[in-house]
Amino acid sequence: MITIENTLFSIDQICESGQCFRLRPLENGRYCLTALGRYLEIEQIDDAVTFFCSQEEFEEIWKNYFDLDTDYQSYLSFASAGGPYLCEAAAFGKGIRILRQDLWEMTISFIISQQNNIKRIRKCIHTLCERYGEKKSSPNGTAYYDFPTAAALAAASEEDLRACNLGYRSRYIRDTAHLVQNREIPWDSLHGMHYPEAKEALMKLPGVGTKVADCICLFGLHHLEAFPIDTHIRQVLERHYPDGFPYESFPGFAGILQQYIFYYDLKSKDA
């Protein structure tokens, strides 16, 4: 295990910000995460964050996954350019980070997210992993499931997927899996593309429109300029930025501010 000190890291805020659906709290106060084919437990006490893995695994995998080499204070300092509302939002969620998650997992996860709520999105993804992901065991013996591969989902029928309570999104997922599996989309090239062309390519996938493509770009390709506009963000923009959001004040990283806003709006409503 390895412990770091970081005032701008909150595993709870990251979990609750709705960007990572397979990060969840355990009974004992820790959090567990299944990602990149691995299982990880995390514990945070104030600014001290403990990763229950070897130092090598932390350095090679999780340090990058949690974007720990990035100085988020420099992003937070821009919040004032968005007025008092953005200042409040940024102060409220200053422990949030944009994780560097897997592209395929983000694609399927955010196809599922459409017209859906976060609790049920988590449940759908969990079911999908249980039924179509490879079962593994962590070093300490905890069983977990990988996120299903494109091949595994392409092999499923639409009826099988509907049995996972995915609803009308079942066909989107099946067809998307087929497109990727059959190389009908330049999948491996996506990582090398800039934001506009990556977004355009992703929108060729069934079930991927403007908003979902932006989420995939932000969380799966780490394009920080992607600014997903969902129902929450749309309402905030209408209410607090009637003359337009000052995107130009956050060149190349408006997506980070989007996450502060999303989390702030989400948490201000669940009382």
Partner DNA sequence: TCCCAGGATTCAT
Partner DNA sequence: ATGAATCATGGG
Does residue 93 touch DNA according to CB under 7 A?
Answer: no
Binding to DNA (CB under 7 A) within 106-125 occurs at 113-121
Helix spans in 133-230 (H)? 150-154, 158-162, 169-181, 195-202, 210-220
**Annotated catalytic residue within 136, 211, 267, 269:** 211
Residue 195 burial (CB count, 10 A): 17
Q: Under 8 Å CB-to-CB from 147, ≥6 apart: which residues? A: 22, 34, 35, 102, 104, 105, 108, 125, 128, 129, 133
H or E stretch including 143?
A: strand 143-145
Considering CB under 7 A, how many residues would be counted as binding DNA? 36
Our CB check for DNA shows the closer of 3 and 210 to be: 210
Does residue 213 touch DNA according to CB under 7 A?
Answer: yes
* Minimum distance from residue 134 beta carbon to DNA (Å): 25
123 in catalytic set: no
Pair 136, 145: CB distance under 8 Å? yes
Our CB check for DNA shows the closer of 138 and 181 to be: 181
CA distance 61 to 64: 6
DSSP label at residue 70: S
Pair 203, 210: CB distance under 8 Å? yes
HSE of 229, CA atoms in CB hemisphere, 13 A: 8
Does residue 183 touch DNA according to CB under 7 A?
Answer: no
- Could you say which of 228, 245, 256, 264 contacts DNA (CB under 7 A)? 228
* Minimum distance from residue 255 beta carbon to DNA (Å): 9
Binding to DNA (CB under 7 A) within 231-260 occurs at 231-233, 258-259
Our CB check for DNA shows the closer of 53 and 213 to be: 213
- Could you say which of 63, 131, 136, 162 contacts DNA (CB under 7 A)? 162
- Could you say which of 103, 108, 215, 236 contacts DNA (CB under 7 A)? 215
**Positions marked catalytic:** 211
Which positions lie near DNA, rule CB under 7 A?
17-19, 113-121, 162, 165, 167-168, 203, 205-213, 215, 228, 230-233, 258-259, 262, 266
